[in-house]
Amino acid sequence: MSRAFAVVLLALTFLCAPASAWAQANSAPTTYGKHALPQATQERLKATRTTIPIKMRRTLDVLRQGQLLSKIKRTAAAYGIDPIHILGAIVGEHALNYDIRDNLQQVALQFARRMQNVEFSCGQVSLERVLAMPEFKQCRGNSNAYWTCVESNWSKVRGKSVDGVRLPRRNLTESCFNPFATGQTYGLGQLSPVTALKMSDTTKLPPITYKDADRVYERIIDPDESLNVIAAVIVDAIQAYRAVGVDISDKPGITATLYNLGNPRERARRSRGRPKVNYYGAFVEDHIDTLRDLLN
């Protein structure tokens, strides 16, 4: 069995465990505990209001099994953060955003057949050719700075023609980092290839590049590796706010919000020292006792 396929099977073991159903809500939530939800968020969650408790319970049941909680604690210790931040990010993803068990089964089949020699491209144009365009010449620095710049500048080139071929008009991840056409985020932390590349210099793992797509996918699918990326994303958010004089290292609702929204440095600059939770962070805050009990 190849290492890549074994990684996918390990991820499936986590995501396909049996679930215990909670009582289903009868109406869309207007609040999460003390946090009022904006109308747009209420509408967004309305279609999934009956599945959130079920997915929450499923996630907690699975986390209690195996060694995932001990791995979360060890990873958090290695990165100098409270494990509640990692746990909150994982539970938020699986309870609120994606029930990805079926999708990952499909991805597993794709990986089993095609994991070798995967290459990233933007439609019919190689990613290497795209990154050589003048619009990306200014992108430099560490992996986070570089890929944040690429992501930002992609809006300047999408839809343009390169060597007579038109680039896709969708976002960077969907246009250039979706060779299997099965989704944009995967695994325990619902990570994208772009996030893994951004955090390449921040994790305590060997660096990766877009030229080795197989390794990029292993990093976001393999729970042992993806926990490092999740931790790195959280550390990056804490550092971004620390740079503007705000300590969020003891605020898992804020770090969960930033995990959900991304772009912490820009959000830190705009926050004026007053970071706020969104629905995702509010969900984590309102279940904080449950999450703490799980860690204990």
Across residues 37-60, what is the average pLDDT?
A: 68
pTM for this one?
A: 0.83
Does residue 239 form part of some domain?
yes
Give how far the C-alpha of residue 2 lies from the chain's centroid of Cα atoms, to the nearest Å. 25
Please check whether residue 215 lies inside any domain of the structure. no
Average pLDDT over residues 88-103: 73
**Is residue 188, in this structure, part of any structural domain at all?**
no
Percent of the chain with pLDDT over 90: 55
pLDDT at 22: 31
For the chain, percent of residues with pLDDT exceeding 70: 75
Task: Indicate the range of 52-61, 202-211, 221-230 predicted with least confidence.
Answer: 52-61
The residue that leads in pLDDT, 115 or 150, is 150
Instruction: State which residues form the domain around 67.
Output: 3-119+225-295
Mean pLDDT of 20-48: 54
Calpha distance 149→137 (Å, rounded) = 10
> Highest mean pLDDT: which of 112-126, 183-197, 259-273?
259-273
Pairing of strands 165-166, 35-36: unpaired
pLDDT at 99: 53
pLDDT of residue 77: 98
How many domains are contained in the chain?
1
Average pLDDT over the chain, rounded to an integer: 82
Answer whether residue 181 shows pLDDT above 80.
Answer: no
Question: What number is the average pLDDT over the span 123-128?
Answer: 95
Four-CA torsion 12, 13, 15, 20, nearest 10 degrees: 150
**Is position 125 within any domain?**
no
Higher-confidence position of 253 and 63: 253
Packing angle of the helix pair 223-242, 252-261 (nearest 10 deg):
110
What does DSSP say about strands 121-122 and 125-126: parallel, antiparallel, or unpaired? antiparallel
Q: How confident is the model at residue 204 (pLDDT cuts 50, 70, 90)?
A: very high
Kindly tell me if the per-residue pLDDT of 134 is higher than 70.
Answer: yes
User: What integer is the mean pLDDT of 168-173?
Assistant: 94
Q: What is the pLDDT of residues 215-232, one digit of tens each?
A: 998 898 888 999 999 999
Query: Would you state the structure tokens that stand for residue 239, as one six-digit string?
Result: 């550092």
Could you tell me if residue 260 is inside a domain? yes
Q: Calculate the CA 45 to chain-centre distance.
A: 19
The pLDDT of residue 105 is: 43
Q: What is the DSSP string of the chain?
A: --HHHHHHHHHHHHHTS---PPPPPSS--SEETTEEPPHHHHHHHHTTTTTHHHHHHHHHHHHTSTTHHHHHHHHHHHHTS-HHHHHHHHHHIIIII---HHHHHHHHHHHHHH-TT---EETTEEHHHHHTSGGGTT--SSHHHHHHHHHHHHHHHTT-EETTEEPP-S-HHHHHS-TTSS-S-BTTTTB-HHHHHHGGGTSSS----TT-HHHHHHHHHSHHHHHHHHHHHHHHHHHHHHTTT---TT-HHHHHHHHHH--HHHHHHHHTT-----HHHHHHHHTHHHHHHHH-
> 12 pLDDT band (50/70/90 cuts)?
very low
Whole-angstrom Cα distance, residue 12 to residue 15? Answer: 5
Assigned domain for 62 exists: yes
Per-residue pLDDT band for 54 (boundaries 50, 70, 90) equals: confident
What pLDDT score was predicted for residue 162?
94
Tell me if 167 is assigned to some domain. no
Give the least confident one: 44-48, 129-133, 137-141, 144-148. Answer: 44-48
> For residue range 228-266, what is the model confidence (pLDDT) as tens digits?
999 999 999 999 999 999 999 999 999 999 999 999 999
Q: Is 190 domain-assigned? A: no
